[in-house]
Structure formats: structure tokens, C-alpha cells
Chains A and B, each alone.
Chain A
Amino acid sequence: MKELKVTPIKDGTVIDHITPGNAVKVLRILKIPESTTSVVSVAINVIGKKGKKDIVKIENRELDPKELDKIALIAPKATINIIRDYEVVKKHKVELPDEVIGIAKCSNPTCISNAREPVQSRFQVICKDPPRIRCYYCEREPEDIADRII
């Protein structure tokens, strides 16, 4: 954790190895700052061992699986560090499942999943890194996934 340019946190989550430039998108996915009062630190273009990366630290919050899938869609190399009492108690890489349900909206305006039907959006993951997804219903591939995340 020494490479961090920002001070360590007591409890919370550190999202490391975010694709450089994508930290802001991660914040948007996590609905920060709107849905939090915790302290959030962002480091952009930090020089790490494997080149540049972004880092996001959120105090007093752990992420749910849906949020992790969303992060995997825009930062497939991200690692999630759960911090309790200044210690990393859990560290893992994000991983996209083979199918993502209810986390992104189809970019095709005439796709049935965008009509008022009792179904959630559903995408097949056709490539995990770089992430590529294809709509289960209309078979189209959205170009900018980050803009499609619900």
C-alpha cells in the first residue's frame, strides 16, 4: 500500500489497478458523491509497478456483487481490497461472469428489452478483457459500455 499517494483508511474499500482515466467512471457507477457521506479519495494516473493506474478509496463502505460486476465492465483489471482497522482483510480481482443481468441497458432503442416488458436487461459476455457484451435479446453489442451501465 506504500505506493498510495493518499493516506491509508481505517475501514472501507480500496479499488486498485483501475484502467487509467476510468476512476471517474467507477465513481459514477458507485453513485459517488450523491449516495454517500463517507470520505472518498481518488488518485488518477498513479505510477505503479505495471504502469499507470487509477485508485479509488472509499471509507466505511464495502461493495455488493452487482457493483463489482459493473466495475469489471469498465476496469477489468481492478482489484478490490477490503480494509478493516487499517489491515487488508480481503483482496481479490474483479471478474465478469459469463452473463450480466440487470446492470446495463441495451443501446438499441428498438430492442424489446427497452420496451415495457417484465424482463431485466441481459447480456452475454463475449470477451472479459477488454470487456465486450452482446444483448441476449437483439444480439447487438453496445459500443460504449460505460455509458450503458444502469
Chain B
Amino acid sequence: MNFKKRDVISIKDFSREEIEYILKYAKKMVPYATGEKHTDILKEKILASLFFEPSTRTRLSFESAMHRLGGRIIGFADPSGTSQKKGESLADTIRMADSYSDVIVIRHPQEGAARLAAEFAEAPVLNAGDGAGQHPTQCLLDLFTIFMEKKKIKGNNIVLLGDLKYGRTVHSLAYALALFKADLTFVSPETLKMPKEVINECREFGVEPNSTSNLEKAIKEADVLYVTRIQRERFPDAEEYNRVVGTYKVDNNLLKQAKQDLIVMHPLPRVVEIDPEVDSTPHAVYFKQAFNGVPVRMALLSLILGGKKL
């Protein structure tokens, strides 16, 4: 298995075996990610962190990951002070960053930007989200969270809830979960159903997802409940939004019907989908999930930059 110098643009760039390898390596990174153990396996390495749109959580977890491995960071958190504002092409910015660093992390508002960056950079490129496109490290940390909490991914009954139509990160996650042969249930308002292509991809791996609008029924069987935000801007009128948003609220009353060891995940930030009363229950793993971004990104950076094995 060779990760050295590889670009990470889409979760589909990895085989199931490769994903398993990354998850197992990420597990080893946990004590280093918490600061309990120390390492400098990426000493002398420089990461260019290019955030053409703000995304504090993703940026901080990449930067924390690099620091925890002893590496250094250059870059920007917001494009307003860069030459892009003066009309420089992304290709040129990438060529410049490429000559200053060993690995490039890019977040960009346009779909396909990371793929384009990878064409112009010698250094490996990690996609930290491109518009409504791919966000492979988010997908990996979601898988890692299930792997850590449930010890395995296969065989779990996983409910994906919320806006399944527009959320492309949920599409990648459905693909990856099907690759691991998890049982999938899609719960969404009628207007925000999972697209056919995604369902077809799941079928190609022999997984037949259930689709329903009935959360109460779906929750009884669930081992994992993955909640996503419904975006207000998807709806032409506020009334329709409020109706849809109100349909699915995860609170302690709903969770009474769930298995005791059900875990509730959310990529954050949440708005109203999960009542804060859930936070103090053992079901809530979304803050742990956010932390998991660090060991997962540490594992990727280390593998791609060919750091000494831990």
C-alpha cells in the first residue's frame, strides 16, 4: 500500500483496504493528537494551508495535526489579502505555494478546485472541501468515529438524516459506508431525498438502502444516527423550511425509543436539528467526532509525507 506523495481529492481515490489502513493508523495517532505523547516525525516539513474561504474547524484541525507531528505551516485563512483578489488564477497561486511547501491543503468555494490544484502542484494536494464538492477528510473522520465507537463499520445499521439531496458530503459518506457494507437507511423530507445516482452506487456494492420519511420508525433499529443540517437557502419560502426543519428534531424524547448504545453524529455546526439536552447523554459523539479530525489528518499527513512510522 503506497500513500507517499498521493493527492487526496475524493474519497473515491481510496480502496476499502486503504481506508481501513488509514483508520487503523489514525487510532495510533490518538495519544499524539491529545498531546499525551509527543513526536516530531514531520520535522522540517512544511504544509501550505490555503483557505480561499473560511472554515475554521477544518483549518484548525489540519494545522493542529501538522503541529502535533512536529511540522510547520504557512498559508492564509481567508483570501481577502491574497493575489486571488487581484485576479490571479488559482493555478498560479498553487504553483507559487508548491515551491514553498511539501504538502498543500486547499479549501475553495468552487467545485473541482482541488482537482485543478493537483494538476498544477508537484507536492501532494489534500482537498479540505471544494464548494459543494468533495471533502474526503470529513468523510474519513466520520468513518473513523464509527470505527472507534462501534469497533467496526460493517453490519451497523446507519441512519443518515436531513438534507440528503444537496449535501454532497453525505453522498460521499453513503458511498463509503456502502463500500464497507453497512446497512443504510436514508431519512429525509420528501423534497430532500437521496439522489438516485447515490442509491445506485450503494447497490453496486450490494447494499440496498431503505428510504423513509419516518424517523421514529427508523431510529428503533439504528446503531448510528448521522444528522445533517437542512439549509434554509434551499427553500423558496420560510414556512416550508420551518415545516421541514420541525419534522426532524433529535431530542431525548425521540432517543427514548432508540437502542441504548446508539451514537448520534453531526458534522457541526448544528442549528436546531439536535436539542442541546442530547449533549449530556451517552448518545452524543459529535464533539468527539470533531476532535477525531485531528488524528485522521495526522495519519494522512504522515502517510503522504512518508513520516517515520509510529
Chain A positions near chain B (C-beta within 8 angstroms): 108, 110-113, 115-119, 135-140
Q: Is the CB of B133 within 8 A of A138?
A: yes
Could you give 29 example pairs across A and B, Cβ below 8 Å? A110-B109, A110-B111, A110-B131, A111-B110, A111-B111, A111-B112, A112-B113, A113-B112, A115-B89, A115-B110, A117-B89, A117-B91, A118-B89, A118-B91, A119-B91, A119-B119, A135-B112, A136-B112, A137-B113, A137-B115, A137-B116, A138-B111, A138-B130, A138-B131, A138-B133, A139-B10, A139-B111, A139-B112, A140-B111
Q: How many A-B residue pairs have CB under 8 A?
A: 52
Select from chain A the residue with minimum beta-carbon distance to B171.
A139
Interchain CB contact under 8 A, A139 and B133:
yes
Of all chain B residues, which has the CB nearest A137?
A: B112
Q: How far is the CA of A116 from the CA of B133 in the complex (A)?
A: 19
Q: Once bound together, how far apart are the Cα atoms of A119 and B116, in whole Å?
A: 8
- List 19 extra interface pairs beyond A110-B110, A136-B112, A139-B133, CB under 8 A: A111-B111, A112-B108, A112-B110, A112-B115, A112-B130, A115-B110, A116-B89, A117-B89, A117-B91, A117-B116, A119-B91, A119-B119, A136-B115, A137-B113, A137-B115, A137-B116, A138-B111, A138-B133, A139-B112
The digit string for B72-97, where 1 denotes a CB below 8 A from any CB of A, is 00000000000000000111000000
In the complex, the answer to whether A110 meets B132 with C-beta atoms within 8 Å is: yes
CA distance A113 to B130 in the complex (A): 13
Question: In the assembly, what is the distance between CA of A138 and CA of B171, in Å?
Answer: 14
Q: In the complex, what's the smallest C-beta–C-beta distance from A128 to chain B, in angstroms?
A: 18
B109 touches A139 (CB 8 A): no
CB <8 Å contact, A138 and B89: no
Residues of B within 8 A of A108 (CB): 111
The answer to the question of B134 belonging to the interface, with a C-beta cut-off of 8 Å to chain A, is yes
Q: How far is the CA of A110 from the CA of B110 in the complex (A)?
A: 5
Contacts of A117 in B (CB 8 A): 89-91, 116
A112 to B89, CA, bound (A): 10
| Complex CA–CA separation, A108 to B119 (angstroms) | 20
How many angstroms from the CA of A37 to the CA of B110 in the assembled complex?
Answer: 42
Which residues B106-142 have CB closer than 8 A to chain A? 108-113, 115-116, 119, 130-134
Q: How far is the CA of A118 from the CA of B113 in the complex (A)?
A: 12
Complex CA gap A121/B294 in Å reads 35
Q: B130: which A residues are within 8 A, CB to CB?
A: 112, 138
Q: B116: which A residues are within 8 A, CB to CB? A: 112-113, 117, 119, 137
Nearest chain A residue, comparing its CB with the CB of B116:
A112
* 0 or 1 for each of B49-80: is its CB under 8 Å from A? (1 = yes): 00000000000000000000000000000000
Q: How far is the CA of A136 from the CA of B110 in the complex (A)?
A: 14
A138 touches B91 (CB 8 A): no
